[in-house]
Structure 1
């Protein structure tokens, strides 16, 4: 199985659907590197779709935790007594859950079970990458795999990360750290990006989908009229 790794979605549901059309479930392991939620207009639908995909495809699909999932988890479990998440997109996300009549706590166990990274012998995927500073898996380490903005260390394998949106909306390879950043700023109106690699880390293809305007505008009617009837097909899930 080759790898299809998707960057930060940030509630850009329609862009996410278009990118998922490029996934080949029979031959590709799907990995999403975190930040499904906040910023865009459709966080609840994005979470629900990811949850259903994981239920169907189980071990061939991996949704990793990003810093926005971490903030959401902490808030929903009552551990955030500040406005940290609310001021970073959480307030709008809660409004969206209410509008769609979806209880975010339905997904809290799944969110809280999200791993911090995925790896094989040649590739490691995490939200913000390994900086070499402090414990990388410490949820509160500002230089850990959830929050890091520092340069990455070379782990001797390909790293694929997101977290820091690239200004020009194009994925970037850094030879010094042997790493790809594939956060191309979907919520900023750029594009949502996925990268395909062989299991040995060999590059195959980059797929970038321009952000669907519905995901970042504030449509007055579309949010209330969108239909998300689930159809489970033999090899994939579609929402119509």
Structure 2
């Protein structure tokens, strides 16, 4: 990890934007994704195949969790479909059921967070949403009860952030989930979901990556 790591925000099936963004990164870049690889965009299956075949790192997002749970009940399936699952399901037409099932099994292996130590810098924690408020340490095993916070918490109000705990945690947290017009970067966290799938919003619609520890941002 001497050269650090590039963290890419929510892709949401935007395969072409992902290819473009990856072409802008160093050829030897270590890459990690914040989850939400799928849903809403047209090419979710291609995105997941690329990430698996390339050996990139990734944490679990709430949309991956919805796809996992879509087989559990009619209500879960309808909820997933309502949140972009129909587009994802359509993207598997050229791949078939076996690939669909294999991707679900892959999603089941994704962790809630990934922890990286980079010499001379505070450790990096990549998660789908903000994790500072429930952070313990890298050895702590979070339960499904914690998923509501780690996967679903929308950080759209200043009071949701806990500056006192951030200072005590001794980590830098990079996360996505909440679309922002530009990457939001502080001394203790960075929000990197710039709304790749929302092309109709003039302030969103780009896919972004941030490098740690330099905090350089590259977007499509």
When normalised by structure 2's length, the TM-score is 0.79
Residue by residue over 1:215-240, the C-alpha shift from the partner in whole angstroms, topping out at 9 and shown as x without a partner, is: xxxxxxxxxxxxxxxxxxxxxxxxxx
Aligned length: 191
In 2, are the aligned partners of 1:172 and 1:181 still within 8 Å (CA)?
yes
Residue aligning to 1:214: none
In 1, are the aligned partners of 2:34 and 2:59 still within 8 Å (CA)?
yes
Residue aligning to 2:16: 14
Residue by residue over 1:85-122, the C-alpha shift from the partner in whole angstroms, topping out at 9 and shown as x without a partner, is: 11100122112212x24321122221110111111241
Give the direction of change, closer, same or farther, for the CA distance of 1:120–1:84 in structure 2 (3 Å limit): same
In 2, are the aligned partners of 1:141 and 1:147 still within 8 Å (CA)?
no
For 2:124 and 2:54, the matched residues in 1 are separated by 23
Residue aligning to 1:102: 96
Give the direction of change, closer, same or farther, for the CA distance of 1:88–1:70 in structure 2 (3 Å limit): same
Give the direction of change, closer, same or farther, for the CA distance of 1:127–1:163 in structure 2 (3 Å limit): same
Runs ≥4 residues deviating over 6 A: none
**Structure number with higher strand proportion:** 1
1:158 matched to 2:158: no
Paired residue secondary structure (2:150)? coil
In 2, are the aligned partners of 1:143 and 1:149 still within 8 Å (CA)?
no
Question: Which of 114, 126, 149 does residue 118 from structure 1 map onto?
Answer: 114
Paired residue secondary structure (1:39)? coil
Q: Gaps spanning 5+ residues in structure 2: where?
A: 118-122, 200-204
Range with bigger deviation, 128-137 or 187-196: 128-137
Residue aligning to 1:63: 58
Paired residue secondary structure (1:186)? coil
When normalised by structure 1's length, the TM-score is 0.73
Residue by residue over 1:149-180, the C-alpha shift from the partner in whole angstroms, topping out at 9 and shown as x without a partner, is: 243441322110000111xx2111244xx110
In 2, are the aligned partners of 1:34 and 1:69 still within 8 Å (CA)?
yes
In 2, are the aligned partners of 1:138 and 1:144 still within 8 Å (CA)?
no
Aligned pairs (5 A) from 1:42-81: 42-54=43-55, 61-75=56-70, 78-81=71-74
User: Offset of 1:23 from its aligned partner?
Assistant: 3.2
